[in-house]
């Protein structure tokens, strides 16, 4: 009887580890991805608004929601009334970058 109890405890422990692993994979990881997706936009908007505050006639700032090329910057556009818009890239959340820069290739 004692031998059976020992095997049952091992099985119960292993099944709990398996369950916790599934919870991590299907709940925690997707939640972290969604939070980063939202934070990328918010952080980039803050940097872009700060950058646009130093430009004359800056009317509106818009940023995309995702760092599509994974370089740590999110693409943003600064609209300046009737003038052509400025295209910049601003740092995303959880990156080592700060502030804004001109877009690559421009």
pTM value is 0.65
Task: Compare 3 and 81 and report the one with higher pLDDT.
Answer: 81
Query: In a 3-state reduction of DSSP, which class is residue 58?
Result: coil
Quick: pLDDT tens for 5-58.
667 777 778 888 888 888 777 777 677 666 666 688 888 999 999 999 988 888
What burial class does residue 37 get, using C-beta atoms within 10 Å of its C-beta: 0-12 exposed, 13-18 middle, 19+ buried?
middle
**The predicted structure's pLDDT at residue 91:** 92
Quick: pLDDT tens for 54-72.
888 888 999 998 888 888 8
**The predicted structure's pLDDT at residue 12:** 79
The structure tokens 């890239």 sit at 89
Could you give the number of structural domains in the chain?
1
Domain that includes residue 63, residue range: 2-102
- CA angle 6/10/12 to nearest 5° reads 115
């Amino acid at each position: 009887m004692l031998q059976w109890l020992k095997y049952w405890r091992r099985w119960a422990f292993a099944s709990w580890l398996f369950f916790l692993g599934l919870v991590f994979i299907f709940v925690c990881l997707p939640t972290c991805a969604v939070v980063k997706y939202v934070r990328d936009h918010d952080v980039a908007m803050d940097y872009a608004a700060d950058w646009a505050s130093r430009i004359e006639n800056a009317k509106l700032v818009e940023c995309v929601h995702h760092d599509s090329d994974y370089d740590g910057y999110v693409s943003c556009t600064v609209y300046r009334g009737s003038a052509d818009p400025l295209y910049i890239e601003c740092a995303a959340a959880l990156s080592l970058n700060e502030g804004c820069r001109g877009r690559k290739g421009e």
